[in-house]
Amino acid sequence: MLWIIPALVILGAAAWSQTVSNVEQAKYEVVSSQGDIEVRLYAPMIVAEAEVTGDRKLAINKGFRIIADYIFGNNISKKNVAMTAPVVQQRSEKIAMTAPVTQEGNRSQWKVRFVMPAIYTMATLPKPNNDVVKLVEMPRKRFAVICFSGMAGEASLKDHTEELNNFFTGKKLNALSQPSYAFYNPPWTLPFLRRNEVMIEIPSE
């Protein structure tokens, strides 16, 4: 019977992780798939973007904090909007959290992005107080994407990027961008429940 408590803890953590991960996501259409790799057509979107320096893990943490500061109130609107899962209330405009957070890098320079909820336009999004945060309109784009679970450490990202590159070679696809890394879950999510992706832009047909 001693196994029951650990099992309940795992099930509880899994349920909570799934609840807090159930947020609006970037909209896309799956054009084709091969194993864990999909070719996706992403709809136009607006992203909040911060460019930071440092190694990958340090950079995404720094960029995340900068953009989280913006969506949790460091903007000019100063409106209070309640949000659930988790419940956080501030005297400022609060934008619903979306997934994924994406990270794109070139050497020690990284761009960390949050996709903005689809209800907003460039005219209605609150303007950032921090000049580091940029609001950028992204046109419709096509990506080859590999999805995987686990902790997404450096070795895992490298292995899955290589697998995606092999897919490009086999399909004779041209890459239009450096790999981007997308992370969908809060940090307390159990490894086997995590959703991570490596994305590379390809030409639209």
Give, for all 205 residues of the chain, the pLDDT tens digit. 544 444 433 444 444 344 445 677 888 999 999 999 999 999 998 888 888 888 888 888 888 889 888 888 888 886 422 222 222 111 225 566 666 767 666 657 888 888 888 888 899 999 989 999 998 999 999 999 999 999 988 899 899 999 999 999 999 999 998 888 888 887 788 999 888 899 899 998 7
Q: In this structure, which amino acid lies at residue 43? A: A
Element (H, E) at 106: strand 101-106
Cβ partners under 8 Å of residue 17, min gap 6: 185, 186, 188, 189, 190, 193
> For 41, what's the count of Cα atoms within 13 Å in the CB-facing half-sphere?
7
* pLDDT value, residue 84: 22
Find how far residue 24's CA is from the centre of its chain.
11
Largest CA distance in the chain: 58
Element (H, E) at 168: helix 154-171
Q: In this structure, which amino acid lies at residue 164? A: L
Which tokens belong to 149? Answer: 């679970």
* pLDDT value, residue 168: 94
* Residue where the block lists tokens 């969908």: 184
* pLDDT value, residue 140: 96
CATH of domain 23-44+139-205: 3.20.80.10
CATH architecture for the domain at 47-137: Alpha-Beta Barrel (3.20)
Where do the domains of the chain lie? 23-44+139-205, 47-137
